[in-house]
Amino acid sequence: MQQTVPDKNDTITIVGCGGFIGSHLLDRLLEATHYRVIGIDLVSGKISRHLNNDRFSFVKLDMHDIPSVKPYIERSGIVILLAALCNPSLYTTRTLDVIDVNCTGTIPLINMCAEAGARLVYFSTSEVYGRTAASLAGRGDDAESCLLREDCSPFILGPVEAQRWSYACAKQLIERVVFACGQEHGLNYTIVRPFNFIGPRMDFLPGIDGEGIPRVLACFLSALIARKPLRLVDGGRNRRCFTWIGDAIDACMKILERPEAARNQIFNIGNPSNETTIAELADRMIRLWRRQVPGASAHGIAVEEISARDFYGPGYEDSDRRLPDIGKAERLLGWEPKTGLETALDTTIKACIDLYCPALRKE
């Protein structure tokens, strides 16, 4: 029987398909759309349940292997770039890798999309904004002044020695490359700036399925499982807007469904209603953990403060407040986040217990 070659417009390639966001995006694309998906990554543990799906092809490839990646991009109508090194502990310890993977190693992929005429959806980061101008001007508690807007808020990074900003700087440069490819080569692109997406399959638990320091949710979950104190970097005073991964994937779907509205636009994808300090996050997680693990109330769960230098080593600085203005996504995409912080955390904690320590529920 003659095999039909899939239509380019029905094919999406996801570079970095095996990570947290990629795995959730793949779930949705295979469950709710007709697309054929090519997933490029070095790891497939988080997407293993799709490996036998007829509409999905997993290609084990390093994104740097440009000649091998090229044919997949050429046969795709849409390319979604997710490959990144995006844990803050790496920004100060593996700075050159961070700049390579997030910038220099990504540029050839963007050029390839322009040459192949593929539509590009590029995942950048909320971190590009850096520090909040309003905070630096002493207005850090005024939410309206702190709102970050895609097309007019400045990017404010620290000095070179503060290597924390190497990641933001790398992603900023890529955004500028994408923008310039749009202007000079007619690249059709959409840039997404995620604001702390959370949910099952995020990061890793140190000593269980990875090594090093993951992002804050995994750090706190790891401490809760090990019955160790939750550590608040610099007192946990910084604020984040945690965004449920399901809401974030809804936004991706809107971007795919509305190509003209999303064409050559940058979108903040985040949930401003979920803003919390990290200290409040710790309290909330302890409360929710106690509810799911009845035996946990019997032993003390503590928090302790630690300096950023002791926690991450030298070269670490932080974004104090990242509050997205999501008006543009609401207006052009018809998207708004729906899931509150309590539900998002509770579901994430449940998934963590199911995966790593179901026996705790019976204690």
Residue numbers at the binding site for ligand UGA (CB under 6 A)? 86, 88, 125-127, 167, 194-197, 215-216, 219, 231-233, 236, 238, 240, 278, 318
3-state secondary structure of 241: strand
Catalytic residue among 72, 122, 167, 189: 167
What sign does the dihedral 186-149-274-127 (CA atoms) show? Answer: positive
Burial category of 190 from C-beta neighbours within 10 Å (exposed 0-12, middle 13-18, buried 19 and up): buried
Nearer to ligand UGA, 57 or 273 (CB): 273
- Say whether 312 is catalytic: no
DSSP 26-41: HHHHHHH---EEEEEE
Nearer to ligand UGA, 275 or 318 (CB): 318
Min. distance of Cβ 98 from ligand UGA in angstroms? 10
Task: Classify strands 275-277 and 239-241 as parallel, antiparallel or unpaired.
Answer: antiparallel
Task: Classify strands 119-123 and 56-60 as parallel, antiparallel or unpaired.
Answer: unpaired
Min. distance of Cβ 191 from ligand UGA in angstroms? 13
Nearer to ligand UGA, 188 or 196 (CB): 196
**Spatial distance between the Cα atoms of 109 and 115, rounded to a whole number of angstroms:** 10
Which pairs with CB-CB distance under 8 Å and at least 24 residues apart come from 219-226? 220/281, 220/282, 220/285, 221/285, 221/348, 221/349, 221/352, 224/285, 224/286, 224/289, 224/293, 224/296, 224/301, 225/352, 225/356, 225/357, 225/360
Contact criterion met (CB below 8 Å) for 18 and 47: yes
Contact criterion met (CB below 8 Å) for 60 and 42: yes
> Residues with Cβ < 8 Å from 361, sequence gap 6 or more?
292, 293, 294, 353
Nearer to ligand UGA, 111 or 277 (CB): 277
E-only strand ranges, 28-77: 36-41, 56-60
**Spatial distance between the Cα atoms of 241 and 251, rounded to a whole number of angstroms:** 16
Torsion angle in degrees (nearest 10) through CA of 271, 273, 277, 282: -80
Min. distance of Cβ 215 from ligand UGA in angstroms? 3
Min. distance of Cβ 294 from ligand UGA in angstroms? 25
Burial category of 360 from C-beta neighbours within 10 Å (exposed 0-12, middle 13-18, buried 19 and up): middle
Min. distance of Cβ 70 from ligand UGA in angstroms? 27
Min. distance of Cβ 165 from ligand UGA in angstroms? 10
Min. distance of Cβ 329 from ligand UGA in angstroms? 16
Active-site positions read 167
